[in-house]
Structure 1
């Protein structure tokens, strides 16, 4: 897998980058691209030619997969992208969060609030206590504050019998009475199937 990130730049900078990639670098006025981040790793500087732009490293609300193709038919997954470098105009304010809430496309606008399940409200003390208990159980010990009840085989059998008596016996199925046979009058002639009207319609 490759290491990739998404670089989002203002439209004017995008045109300059596209021109730099398409043309010969020696003939272009923007001969260099540079991206540098100081120790905090979240805010840095993007340079193209002699101009410098502020940049921020932001987390995406979900993982984006990237693919490439060699024959325009089969796609090969190359990376999972979870971060984006957003380049701003020099006057724009820096984002005060580390997660970009809107994703990359318009349907992902405010995605975490609209599309993703809310994280459960868990008590941190409860989580740490359960974690300690699990570690003790995995080490061969027992968890704290647990009542252990040991039953002998006769007590278990007695409990099962008492549970069985509480269950109601299923009622036997009721036998259906035979349908009465139709008796035709001796004086009437039998009607054929073609004479009968179809009542099912």
Structure 2
């Protein structure tokens, strides 16, 4: 896999880069092209010819795959692109965020807000308390500040459900007289096995 990024430049700079790539550099005034970053790795300078442009490195809201082809038939994935280098005009202000708001195509405009699931609204104190309780339980301890009323109500509900289950058990039906008589008749005569029947046949 290759390491790739997207370079987004103003239209005037894009024309100069296109001329530089398509024509002979020796006949072109803008034959120098350079990109350098400061120590923080998020801002720097883009140089083309004698002009300097400020740049910012931003994270894309989603990963973009890039492909290339050798035979105009099969595509080969070359990289996952997650960052974009924004070249600004000298007077433009630097963005105050690390993540770029939009994707690369019009449907991905404002992608983080329009297309991604919103983060749940959780109270940080509640999350910390639950995490602490879970760690206590895993280490063999008990929950601190447990709601005793809720636990007692749950126990009472469980006891009530057990009592109701005992009341709903149906009494066993008494055996019928015909079944009893048949059982007594069968008890008097011994059962014959298959071996005894074979002995009689001899």
**In the alignment, is the contact (CA less than 8 A) between 1:67 and 1:75 conserved in 2?**
yes
Q: Deviations over 1:124-179 (max 9, x none)?
A: 44545555676788xx74365189xxxxxxxxxxxxx879668899xxxxxxxxxx
Quick one: structure 1 residues 145 and 52, their matched pair in 2 at CA, closer, same or farther if it must change by over 3 Å? Answer: same
Q: Secondary structure at the match of 1:3?
A: coil
Q: Separation in 2 of the partners of 1:85 and 1:166? A: 74
- Quote the residue 2:18 is aligned against: 18
- Quote the residue 1:106 is aligned against: 106
Quick one: structure 1 residues 33 and 166, their matched pair in 2 at CA, closer, same or farther if it must change by over 3 Å? Answer: farther
Q: Deviations over 1:84-116 (max 9, x none)?
A: 000011122222222211211111111111111
Q: Secondary structure at the match of 1:145?
A: coil
**In the alignment, is the contact (CA less than 8 A) between 2:136 and 2:143 conserved in 1?**
no
Q: Secondary structure at the match of 2:27?
A: coil
- Quote the residue 2:140 is aligned against: 142
- Quote the residue 1:76 is aligned against: 76
- Kindly report the root-mean-square deviation, in angstroms, between the aligned alpha carbons of the 2 structures: 3.0
Kindly tell me the number of residue pairs found equivalent between the two proteins: 157
Quick one: structure 1 residues 47 and 133, their matched pair in 2 at CA, closer, same or farther if it must change by over 3 Å? Answer: farther
Q: Deviations over 1:34-81 (max 9, x none)?
A: 111111221211001111001111111111111111111111111111
Q: Secondary structure at the match of 1:26?
A: helix
Do residues 41 (structure 1) and 16 (structure 2) align? no
Q: Secondary structure at the match of 2:18?
A: helix
Quick one: structure 1 residues 162 and 3, their matched pair in 2 at CA, closer, same or farther if it must change by over 3 Å? Answer: farther
Q: Separation in 2 of the partners of 1:94 and 1:45? A: 12
Q: Separation in 1 of the partners of 2:56 and 2:17? A: 18
Q: Which has the larger radius of gyration?
A: 2
Quick one: structure 1 residues 168 and 93, their matched pair in 2 at CA, closer, same or farther if it must change by over 3 Å? Answer: farther
**In the alignment, is the contact (CA less than 8 A) between 2:61 and 2:103 conserved in 1?**
yes
